Structure 1
Amino acid sequence: MNLEFYKNQAVLKQKEHKKFLETLKKRPPKNLDYIVQDTHDQVFSKIDCLQCANCCKTTGPLFTEKDIERIAKHLRMKSADFEQKFLRTDEDNDKVLQNLPCWFLNSDNTCSIYEVRPKACREFPHTDRKKIYQINHLTIKNTVICPAVFEFVEKIQKNL
């Protein structure tokens, strides 16, 4: 997978994509949620995250208190110890990873805590959610990080 190609394409098409997503917000088609789910399924039938893992290499998830408790328990650690070893508080007062790539990313792009991974990781890249126009800013940001999101926006744009 050529990440550099996707990133460049996403940057080049950012204005076009923003404009398109804004039209979805202003006038969402009646069957948008269906189209979104169908397009998400099509894109992920062709793109394998294990070939990429750019999200795990370049952007850290937000950790909720439930995430911290669940993962710490899985690792047989106290929550406070888990936080001290792996997390920091960012400028928005969110708990995030101290370093990237993600500590839990294995060399084969699998996740060592996949079954208990943070909610943010489970939901990424958010291309299967209802009322997707509510997260246009995030979708645009994610086109630069995730080739699947770029393909998703391109495909939806062609189909509408």
Structure 2
Amino acid sequence: MNSTVDLEKFGKESKSEFPAHKKLKERLKKSKPKNLDATFHQLHEEAFQQIDCLDCANCCKTTSPIFIQTDIDRLAKVFRMKSSQFMEEYLYRDEDGDYVLKTAPCPFLGADNKCLVYEDRPKACREYPHTDRKNMLGILELSLKNTLVCPAVHKIFYEIGKEYRK
């Protein structure tokens, strides 16, 4: 049962709840709960039973994945370009030195919110929103940032917060 995502409402809610989520991240970093990965993974499953990425696609509309060289080479091949041409047309180096998209929304996002290069998409897209990974404690800062982008991550933090407010 998927619910439709109201991105405007989500944007307001995620910004207003960000300070609470930031405090939660700090509490989790300090307390280092042993079951954090299992909790994230369970809530990840529950969130994605309710939220359909194709209904939302906010990540593709507002942010860029990091492109590693293998992503660049693979997509250049798909477009029958040299890697250097692909980089020149679609990417730039950000302040961290990572290759990211020049534009948002993603140029490979279709009008129906489907990825036009889905089978060949970057590793970062394949793994997004990273809430089912091991060592969630190590990527809490990234996950916190993603509460502003992904309704599922926002929901996960909200649910974990209920547990830690007790």
* Pair in the same fold by TM > 0.5: yes
Q: Secondary structure at the match of 2:21?
A: helix
Name the structure 1 match of 2:66.
62
Provide Cα deviations, 1:134-156, integer angstroms capped at 9, x if missing partner.
Answer: 22222221111111111111112
1:1-160 matches, within 5 Å, as 1-160=5-164
Q: Secondary structure at the match of 2:100?
A: strand
CA deviations over 1:71-124 (Å, ceiling 9, x no partner)? 111222211111112112223222111111111000000001111111111111
Q: In structure 2, how many angstroms separate the alpha carbons of the residues matched to 1:16 and 1:131?
A: 22
Does structure 2 conserve the Cα–Cα contact (< 8 Å) formed by 1:63 and 1:118? yes
Residue 147 of structure 2 aligns to a residue in which SS? helix
Percent identity over the alignment is: 50
Q: Answer whether contact 1:22 1:133 (CA < 8 A) is retained.
A: no
Q: Compute the displacement of 1:128 (Å).
A: 1.1
Q: Where do 5+ consecutive residues of structure 1 fail to align?
A: none
| 8 Å Cα contact 2:36-2:137 kept in structure 1 | no
Q: Give the TM-score normalised by the residue count of structure 2.
A: 0.90
Asked whether the equivalents of residues 18 and 136 of structure 1 are also in contact (C-alpha less than 8 Å), the reply is: no
Question: Which ranges of structure 2 fall in alignment gaps of 5 or more residues?
Answer: none
What is the count of residue pairs matched by the alignment? 160
RMSD of aligned alpha carbons: 1.4
SS at match of 1:96: strand
Amino acid at match of 2:13: Q
C-alpha contact 2:25 2:141 (8 A) present in aligned 1: no
